[in-house]
Amino acid sequence: MSGDHSDATIARRVRRLETLLEEKGLLTGGELDEAIDSFLAGASPANGARVVARAWTDAAFRSRLLADGTAAVRELGSMEGSYQRLRVVENTATTHNVIVCTLCSCYPLRLLGPSPSWYKSEAYRSRVVREPRAVLAEFGLELPPGTRITVWDSSAETRYMVLPRRPDGTEGMSEEELAGLVTRNALIGTAVL
């Protein structure tokens, strides 16, 4: 992606697109608001948590999720209307993943809900790729020295979600109970469960 990606520039482009849609009679302002509200109503970290819980309890689904996140998540109805490619990356005992969008704030909105303000901040976007261990420590996440940290840079075409490690002692929990353990920060990789 090239060009200026500042919030002001993006806001001007969005407003211009809205104006064109209204001027051409394709949508009214009210219809546009309804479409945005409808989209955001289905956007929640609970969707990502549900995906994670299914992956923890269904090995075949977990394999499909890691091979083709978009298709696997569509099985659960969480990617309807979304055209980005979703790649799910798995945390293990020796590897920790964290996501960022260095250009703007590309993010799997349907699965993680609206992005937190720190995710959009220039400080996070620039520092997490240079010094991920230090940034994670600022979130209170101290990983063992031998843990490899991989930073995944989202784009307009590909979004990422972290599949956190399943917490110990959760073997008897239902899928719904497991989903209740998953946080948005764990889905981004700035926390562990």
pLDDT tens-digit profile of 18-65?
Answer: 788 888 888 787 777 776 666 556 678 999 999 999 999 999 999 999
Question: The CATH number of the domain where 55 resides is what?
Answer: 3.90.330.10
Q: Are residues 80 and 137 in the same domain?
A: yes
In a domain, 2, yes or no: no
Number of domains in the chain: 2
In a domain, 19, yes or no: yes
Q: Are residues 37 and 92 in the same domain?
A: no
Coil, strand or helix at 96: strand
Q: Are residues 75 and 100 in the same domain?
A: yes
Position 164 scores a pLDDT of 98
Position 11 scores a pLDDT of 63
Average pLDDT, the chain: 87
Q: Are residues 36 and 52 in the same domain?
A: no
In a domain, 1, yes or no: no
Q: Are residues 13 and 87 in the same domain?
A: no
- List b or e across 117-151, with b for residues whose CB sees 16 or more CB atoms inside 10 angstroms: eebeeeebbeebeeebeebbeebebebeeeeebeb
Q: Are residues 98 and 128 in the same domain?
A: yes
Whether residue 123 is predicted with pLDDT greater than 80 in this model: the reply is yes
Catalytic positions, please? 101, 104-106
Q: Are residues 12 and 55 in the same domain?
A: no
In eight-state DSSP terms, residue 167 is P
pTM, full prediction: 0.80
106 is in an annotated binding site: yes
Give the lowest-confidence range in 13-27, 92-106, 175-189.
13-27
Identify the domain containing residue 21 by its residue range. 7-41
Q: Are residues 105 and 184 in the same domain?
A: yes
Position 27 scores a pLDDT of 79
In a domain, 172, yes or no: yes
Q: Are residues 145 and 96 in the same domain?
A: yes
Q: Are residues 26 and 49 in the same domain?
A: no
In a domain, 193, yes or no: no
Q: Are residues 56 and 98 in the same domain?
A: yes
Mean pLDDT of 136-147: 97
Q: Which parts of 32-154 are beta strand (E)?
A: 85-90, 95-100, 148-153
Position 3 scores a pLDDT of 43
2 is in an annotated binding site: no
Q: Are residues 113 and 33 in the same domain?
A: no
Is 184 in contact with 49 (CB distance < 8 Å)?
Answer: no
Comparison of pLDDT for 183 and 27, the residue scoring more: 183
Mean pLDDT of 152-159: 91
Mean pLDDT of 140-157: 95
pLDDT (tens digit, 9 = 90+) per residue, 4-22?
445 566 567 777 887 888 8
pLDDT (tens digit, 9 = 90+) per residue, 65-77?
999 999 999 998 8
126 is in an annotated binding site: no
115 is in an annotated binding site: no
